[in-house]
Structure 1
Amino acid sequence: MTITGKTTVTGIIGWPVSHSLSPVLHNAAFRALDLDWIYVPFPVAPERLAQGVAGLASVGVAGFSVTIPHKVAIIPLLDEVTPEAELIGAVNTVVVREGRLTGHNTDGIGLIAALRDKLSFSPQGKRILVLGAGGAARSAVVSLALAGAAGVTIANRSPDAAQGLAHLVAPRLPRTEFATGGLGILSDPGFLAGFDLVVNTTSVGMAGDAFAGLALSALKPGACVYDMVYAPPVTPLLAQAGALGISCANGLGMLVAQGEAAFRIWTGATPPAGCMEGALAAVL
């Protein structure tokens, strides 16, 4: 890759950001399409966020990704956010055009695409259990409801946080029925029998830990399990699902799909099929 004064620059802001795998995704796609673009990490400390965003816009970057801890804090610094990003309350992709900054959220797009491509699952009319109540859970809950889920139940270590999330989104998503509970309810087979899909939005599984008492064998026939964790590729949750013959997938597909969506927003082009996933799998 040869960088010249004509090279279009994109990147990612976060703190820290050196660990991000997004450069692997996007630079592989730029090379595959022979685009004179590059994607680089920009470490931006929280107290310098306003200066960092203004600086990126002023030097002419075409757009940038946003990761922890800036996804919420960046919103007041943008000229516009898409309706879905506003509903989710977080931005992970910014496009810069003629000095104006528009915020998008492609996490939900990534989840729905991963469910379709990896599990042949559509949320339309289904009942879904979401584990967790943080930022990733909010994105999942909103995207699943927008995709037509009949019901979404949020189970979290703190029931109050789960209830707070449901109360926040329910008035805006009246076609979906919302319910909440603590993680203790996962040990009730009768409770689990009502779901078509279980989505883990937490970090549980990254260190080999598991959800206590969760017996996936109680799920209805044909139900699926999606774990947003992708490292390790097989978490205890996925190992249990696999042993029971339950269709399941890790978060790699979602990571790739949200990256592909951001790529399309910036360039107007679609990465070649398998390009980003292959590049990511190679480094993992």
Structure 2
Amino acid sequence: MKDLYAVIGDPIAHSMSPIMHNHLFQFYGVDAHYHAFKVETENLKAAINGFKAIGIAGFNVTVPHKMKIIPFLDEIDPLAREIGAVNTVVNRDGKFIGYNTDGSGYLKGLSSVYDIQKDLSVLLIGAGGAARGIYFTMAQSGVEHIDITNRTVEKAEQLIEECPYAVQSNAVPLKEAEADLSQYDLVIQTTSIGMSPYMDRSPISLQNLCSNAFVSDIIYNPLTTKILHQAKEKGAKIQNGLDMFVFQGALAFEKWTGIFPDTDRMKNTVLTQLGGIQC
């Protein structure tokens, strides 16, 4: 019988994880299948209990469950506990152990196209689970100045307070961030705003963005979100979420199987399915 792996979230229909991981299972000769499950928040505990009952081998966690899932797991990896969010779960001898590969996956993807310097001035948009992973990992790597803007400023303030690493950060209201956008070298969009099927939305106005800035959006479907279109029109360099998606998925696959997969193969699989090219 095949091992079962999964991804849970709401929404989930847009996810390319099943196509990417099932291709890897086939390529590496792993007898397993990966499936996407839509799980609403009120059903999260029941879903985890169901996964344990059927002996699922491992699963990924996406919006909006990355923080909410923690109480329902048996163990949490120390880094994931510091971040306060889980995106990968491994079934080890019947125990569900939570990890976070978002931050390290994002940094690996970003560094493949952008020179990450410690003296960068960074604006992080959002304060959810993905933002926590990216913020903590960038702070741990030595980036000195990372401001956070969020619809609810209190959540940004809380995220800054909970960061265990030395970093200069301010919680900035959205309107203030828009007005002062020219001071940032790197803008990182971590919310679900602009994700398929709501592709006409953008979390922030880029009117004051500098042309020499770099704008990164963790969304990969669509490949070019509205905020990336706007950044490109301003002359800025851009990156979508495909690199982060591939590298966090590769790290998860390694935790499940012991194999670190070919990331170029993974990227090509997703691009073929999306019918596009990397922006």
TM-score range, shorter chain: 0.7 to 0.9
Instruction: Give 2:200's aligned residue.
Output: 208
1:200/1:123 Cα in 2 relative to 1: closer, same or farther (>3 Å)? farther
Structure ranking higher on relative contact order (CA contacts 8 Å, 6+ apart): 1
Q: Which secondary structure state, in structure 2, belongs to the residue aligned with residue 177 of structure 1?
A: coil
Q: CA contact under 8 A between 1:226 and 1:249: conserved in structure 2?
A: yes
Higher alpha-carbon Rg: 1
Gaps of 5+ in 2: 275-279
Given the alignment, which residue of 98, 123, 127 partners 1:133?
Answer: 127
1:177/1:280 Cα in 2 relative to 1: closer, same or farther (>3 Å)? same
Q: Which secondary structure state, in structure 1, belongs to the residue aligned with residue 44 of structure 2?
A: helix
Q: CA contact under 8 A between 2:121 and 2:145: conserved in structure 1?
A: yes
1:16/1:160 Cα in 2 relative to 1: closer, same or farther (>3 Å)? closer
Structure-1 separation of matches of 2:85 and 2:218: 17
Whether 1:263 and 2:257 are equivalent positions in the alignment is: no
Q: Aligned-pair distance for 1:201?
A: 1.4
Aligned counterparts, 1:100-119, within 5 A: 100-117=95-112, 119=113
Aligned counterparts, 1:80-91, within 5 A: 80-91=75-86
1:43/1:144 Cα in 2 relative to 1: closer, same or farther (>3 Å)? same
1:273/1:167 Cα in 2 relative to 1: closer, same or farther (>3 Å)? closer
Structure-2 separation of matches of 1:181 and 1:18: 33
Q: Which secondary structure state, in structure 2, belongs to the residue aligned with residue 103 of structure 1?
A: strand
Instruction: Give 2:144's aligned residue.
Output: 150
Q: CA contact under 8 A between 1:32 and 1:275: conserved in structure 2?
A: no
Structure 1 stretch 160-169 or stretch 46-55: which is displaced more?
Answer: 46-55
Q: Aligned-pair distance for 1:244?
A: 4.4
Q: CA contact under 8 A between 2:79 and 2:100: conserved in structure 1?
A: yes
Q: Aligned-pair distance for 1:152?
A: 0.7
TM-score by length of 1: 0.84
Aligned residues: 270
Instruction: Give 1:230's aligned residue.
Output: 220
* Cα distance per residue 1:104-148 (max 9 Å; x no partner): 01111221111012x233254432111222333222211211221
Instruction: Give 2:277's aligned residue.
Output: none
Q: Aligned-pair distance for 1:231?
A: 2.9
Whether 1:36 and 2:31 are equivalent positions in the alignment is: yes
Instruction: Give 2:56's aligned residue.
Output: 61
Q: Aligned-pair distance for 1:33?
A: 1.5
Q: Aligned-pair distance for 1:272?
A: 1.8
Whether 1:195 and 2:184 are equivalent positions in the alignment is: yes
Match of 1:32, as an amino acid?
F
Whether 1:10 and 2:9 are equivalent positions in the alignment is: no
* Cα distance per residue 1:67-90 (max 9 Å; x no partner): 234322321222211122112212
Q: CA contact under 8 A between 1:28 and 1:275: conserved in structure 2?
A: no
Structure-2 separation of matches of 1:144 and 1:40: 31
Structure-1 separation of matches of 2:249 and 2:238: 21
Structure-2 separation of matches of 1:56 and 1:164: 32
Structure-2 separation of matches of 1:111 and 1:93: 14
Structure 1 stretch 9-18 or stretch 127-136: which is displaced more?
Answer: 9-18
Q: Which secondary structure state, in structure 1, belongs to the residue aligned with residue 170 of structure 2?
A: strand
Gaps of 5+ in 1: none
* Cα distance per residue 1:20-61 (max 9 Å; x no partner): 321011011112212222112344454443343233234332
1:208/1:42 Cα in 2 relative to 1: closer, same or farther (>3 Å)? closer
Structure-1 separation of matches of 2:13 and 2:220: 18
Identity of aligned residues (%): 38
Instruction: Give 2:171's aligned residue.
Output: 180
1:153/1:53 Cα in 2 relative to 1: closer, same or farther (>3 Å)? same
Q: CA contact under 8 A between 1:186 and 1:214: conserved in structure 2?
A: no
Q: CA contact under 8 A between 2:88 and 2:100: conserved in structure 1?
A: yes
